Amino acid sequence: MPSLRLEKVSKHFGGLKAVDDVTMVVPPGEITGLIGPNGAGKSTVVNMISGVLALTHGDILLGDQSIATDRADIVARKGVGRTFQNIRLLAEATVLENVMLGFHRRETAGVPASLLGLPAAIREDRKFRDKAHKLLARFRLDEFANMEAGNLAYGHQRRVEMARAIASEPDIVLLDEPVAGMNDVESEELATIFRELAASGMGLLLIEHNVGFVTRLCRNVYVLDSGRMIASGDPQTVIRDPKVVAAYIGTSVQ
């Protein structure tokens, strides 16, 4: 499984250096943290990796291949999945359908075949349905399979988004504040899933406001502040770094 690497990546919005000269690695098989106060540039990093925003400077590599100028659909096809800080589901489609959309990357039957309802496509559809149900079970969403996604509680919608993001079995998955708005029980359930995904070889980039959650889960943590990478390394060392403490003054580090 490939590593994801950012090399001296910057994103400027006019005069604002939202991300400035950032270098980081997301290795396979582990959870890497990205923390920092609001406005630090975390979501901008995810948007650049996933091809939603163009880079101003620098390079992004998946394995030894640059993906810096690839469109979002190409980045996804190459094996980088993501969730959004602001949930993006098809509100009127069912939970099951939303998750099935995530299989798109690995779909083998062409669209016309599906439309004609040819046996191969039907079989494949059934296979995908079974797989989608398994994913729903993993995220404890089975009972909501046929509900419209828009009618779910916020925490459940986040889980649907995650199930969809990993449906295509990406090598790397970028999780932008996945446990925001969840209680401790729900967060710990997700922590278990994240650990399992890492154990299966996936590389996870976990963006989170809850520093305690990140320090428990990550082997390596990066800290952004005003677009600059101010610290990185072992979580227990990083959260005691005076630069990191200073960046979080007025917010809560626990």
Ligand X SMILES: Nc1ncnc2c1ncn2[C@@H]1O[C@H](COP(=O)(O)OP(=O)(O)O)[C@@H](O)[C@H]1O
Alpha helix segments (H runs only) across the chain: 42-49, 72-77, 95-101, 111-116, 119-138, 154-167, 184-199, 211-217, 235-238, 242-247
Give the Cα separation of 73 and 166 in Å (integer): 15
Q: Nearest distance from residue 231's CB to ligand X, in Å?
A: 15
Q: Tokens 């910057």 identify what position?
A: 10
DSSP lists the bridge partners of residue 57 as: 10
Decide if residue 38 touches ligand X (CB under 6 A). yes
Site for ligand X contains 178 (CB under 6 A): no
Residues of this chain that bind Mg ion (CB under 5 A) = 42-43, 85
Select 101 or 253, whichever has its Cβ closest to ligand X. 253
User: Does 40 interact with ligand X (rule: CB under 6 A)?
Assistant: yes
Taking the complex as a whole, how short is the minimal distance between the CB of residue 206 and Mg ion, in angstroms? 13
Do the Cβ atoms of 35 and 214 come closer than 8 Å?
Answer: yes
Nearer residue to ligand X within complex by CB, 168 or 210? 210
Q: How far is the CB of 176 from Mg ion (least distance, A)?
A: 6
Using the rule CB under 6 A, give the single segment among 12-20, 25-33, 133-141, 189-197 that binds ligand X. 12-20
Among 32, 44, 98, 187, indicate the residue that binds ligand X (CB under 6 A). 44
Q: Does 2 bind ligand X (CB under 6 A)?
A: no
Rounded least distance, CB 85 to Mg ion, Å: 5
Q: Is 39 in the site for ligand X (CB under 6 A)?
A: yes
Which residue, among 86, 88, 62, has the nearest Cα to 76 in the 3D structure?
62
Residue 170 lies near ligand X (rule: CB under 6 A): no
User: Cα separation of 24 and 36, whole Å?
Assistant: 14
Structure tokens at 226: 């005003």
- Does residue 10 bind ligand X (CB under 6 A)? no
Note whether 217 and 191 are within 8 A (CB): yes
Q: Out of 2, 33, 36, 170, point to the residue binding ligand X (CB under 6 A).
A: 36
Can you give the C-alpha Rg of the chain in angstroms?
Answer: 19
The residue ranges that bind ligand X (CB under 6 A) are 13, 16, 18, 36, 38-44
